[in-house]
């Protein structure tokens, strides 16, 4: 009994120490630019193992120099309530949960061997929390940690800083990270010079960047980008 209690206390202390580390790390991000994320490092390792080399594109761009068109396009496409919510869009999360449940039920009824398509309800802040520190596994424990990190990010960093870090580190293709690298890779121009439609195309790629990288002329990509262009003027940037 004493041994079990000792291990339980040690586990609790380890969890507490990890949370303190996360808080201190996030607090430092208010003044220190992020060099890499856990997701980027895992992708670099996979690329190196598969190819024996590390093709890597990334260049930090400060918030004022990031295209407002791209900011608006990403918000319109990924998280239209970004400027006003506290990090979690509970309504979107509930709707995503309901859609995923229905998809699982249909797959069971059809006895399909293919896993149902999972619809996300994550905000930009949640995506950043996951990319910065966590693995891609889908477990309740990992999701709980993501929510905690999301709330810490919202408390310690401004909305502008959250969006700045997100846009500089989000994946836009195989070994392509950040808005500047994406603009150069797909359009051969600096991010500041993106047109509204180009910004919208990049925004639409975000849920599945490696998929759309292989399908640059996708009808869905063009059609969805046209819709996002129409929504960009209504997208609210952080104050």
Reported as a single tens digit per residue, the pLDDT across 90-106 is 776 677 666 656 655 66
Question: At residue 216, does pLDDT exceed 90?
Answer: no
Segment 72-91, tens digit of pLDDT:
999 999 999 999 999 888 77
Lowest mean pLDDT across 15-19, 51-55, 213-217:
51-55
Local confidence band at 119 (pLDDT 50, 70, 90 cut-offs) = very low
Selected residue with higher pLDDT from 53 and 62: 62
What's the distance, Cα to Cα, between the start and end of the chain in Å? 55
Question: At residue 118, does pLDDT exceed 80?
Answer: no
- The pLDDT value given to residue 18: 86
Q: What is the C-alpha to C-alpha distance for residues 182 and 167, in angstroms, rounded to an integer?
A: 10
DSSP class per residue in 82-112: TTTSSS--HHHHHHHHHHHHHHHHHHHHHT-
- The pLDDT value given to residue 54: 65
Q: What is the C-alpha to C-alpha distance for residues 120 and 96, in angstroms, rounded to an integer?
A: 6
- The pLDDT value given to residue 26: 96
Question: At residue 116, does pLDDT exceed 50?
Answer: no
List the alpha helices (DSSP H) in the chain: 2-28, 38-51, 68-78, 90-110, 124-133, 140-156, 159-169, 179-187, 196-205, 209-213, 219-232
At 127, list the tokens.
């995506």
- The pLDDT value given to residue 69: 97
Burial status of residue 87 (CB atoms within 10 A of its CB: 0-12, 13-18, 19 or more)? buried
- The pLDDT value given to residue 11: 76
Strand partners, 176: 57, 173
Say what percent of the chain tops pLDDT 90.
Answer: 61
- The pLDDT value given to residue 195: 97
Domains in the chain, CATH or no CATH each: 46-84+157-239 (1.10.3810.10)
Q: What does pTM read for this prediction?
A: 0.86
Lowest mean pLDDT across 101-115, 159-173, 176-190:
101-115
Local confidence band at 56 (pLDDT 50, 70, 90 cut-offs) = confident
Once rounded to an integer, what is the mean pLDDT over residues 108-132? 72
Closest CA to 123 of 172, 83, 160, 157: 83
Q: What is the C-alpha to C-alpha distance for residues 83 and 72, in angstroms, rounded to an integer?
A: 11
Strand partners, 57: 176
* 8, 14, 20, 24 alpha-carbon torsion, rounded to 10°: -170
Question: At residue 156, does pLDDT exceed 60?
Answer: yes
Once rounded to an integer, what is the mean pLDDT over residues 182-206? 97
Selected residue with higher pLDDT from 4 and 174: 174
- The pLDDT value given to residue 7: 80
Question: At residue 117, does pLDDT exceed 50?
Answer: no
């Amino acid at each position: 009994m004493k041994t079990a209690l000792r291990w339980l206390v040690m586990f609790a202390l380890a969890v507490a120490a990890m949370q303190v580390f996360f808080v201190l790390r996030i607090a430092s991000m208010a003044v220190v630019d992020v060099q890499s994320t856990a997701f980027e490092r895992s992708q670099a390792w996979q690329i190196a193992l598969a190819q024996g080399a590390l093709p890597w594109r990334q260049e930090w761009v400060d918030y004022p120099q990031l295209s407002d068109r791209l900011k608006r396009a990403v918000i319109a496409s990924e998280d239209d309530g970004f400027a006003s919510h506290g990090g979690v869009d509970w309504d979107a999360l509930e709707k995503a949960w309901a859609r995923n449940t229905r998809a699982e039920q249909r797959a069971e009824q059809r006895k399909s061997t293919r896993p149902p398509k999972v619809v996300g309800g994550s905000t930009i802040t949640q995506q950043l929390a996951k990319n910065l520190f966590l693995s891609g596994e889908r477990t309740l424990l990992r999701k709980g940690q993501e929510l905690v990190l999301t709330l810490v990010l919202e408390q310690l960093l401004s909305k502008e800083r959250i969006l700045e870090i997100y846009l500089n580190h989000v994946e836009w293709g195989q070994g392509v990270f950040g808005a500047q690298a994406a603009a150069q890779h797909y359009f051969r121009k600096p991010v500041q010079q993106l047109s509204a439609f180009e910004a919208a195309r990049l925004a639409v790629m975000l849920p599945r960047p490696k998929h759309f990288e292989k399908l640059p002329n996708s009808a869905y990509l063009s059609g969805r980008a046209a819709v996002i262009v129409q929504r960009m003027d209504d997208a609210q940037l952080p104050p």
